[in-house]
Amino acid sequence: MLRFFPLQRRYLVAVILTFSLCAGCSEDLPADTARLIRVIDGDSYFVSWRGKEEQIRAIGIDAPEGSAGAITRRGEDKNAVETEQELLMGRLAAEHAASLLPRNGEIRLVFDPANAANDHRDRFGRILAFIYVPARNGQSELFINEKMIEDGFAQALTRFRYDERIKDRLISAEQRARRRDAGIWRIHPDVFE
């Protein structure tokens, strides 16, 4: 017979509550489906949504840039070597995102209420969303934002407002990736600095 001591019981309750609260983090947020057209970089994708081609920006993640123009637009002062290193890491992040997302396949876009006032768009007109690949072949639904961070190809972006439960998940995913030296954390961690 298993006996739980009070401290162990509290720990078990905390673990169960954490998983039950986060397991359905996106279920109470507005959502829609889209068809993936192509990956732009690790955190931006072109999709067909509501009859139009739209650019999606994944909420809560920041991947290295895949084009020199994007680095310039961010206004960062980088030398040629730093720019080339970020571009290389950006290509790796884009390739990883492409390996996770179904080309010409269905994805689920989940919208955060914090962005509702600006029609879920950023200042560049991109749609802001959490991105999920629907369950298939007995596998559970894949949360792309979290998976990109957990695999070490993006970092948690916390300076913007969005669902705190999901923000906590993304921060935890980054901590796990750093501990494991996953992806870019192993290859070139200062690209995230």
Quick one: average pLDDT of 23-44?
A: 84
pLDDT digits (tens, 9 = 90+) for 44-101: 999 999 999 999 999 999 999 876 555 445 555 667 777 778 888 999 999 999 999 9
pLDDT digits (tens, 9 = 90+) for 89-144: 999 999 999 999 998 999 999 999 999 999 999 999 999 999 999 988 888 999 99
Please report whether residue 10 resides in a domain: no
Q: Tell which residue, 59, 81, 61, has the closest CA to residue 71.
A: 81
Please report whether residue 2 resides in a domain: no
Please report whether residue 121 resides in a domain: yes
β partners of residue 57: 44, 128
pTM: 0.80
Please report whether residue 173 resides in a domain: yes
pLDDT digits (tens, 9 = 90+) for 139-180: 899 999 999 999 999 999 999 999 999 999 999 999 999 999
Q: What is the rounded end-to-end Cα distance, in angstroms, of the chain?
A: 51
Please report whether residue 92 resides in a domain: yes
Q: How many domains does the chain have?
A: 1
CATH code of 124's domain: 2.40.50.90
CA gap 92, 97 in Å, rounded: 9
Residue 128 tokens read as: 């802001």
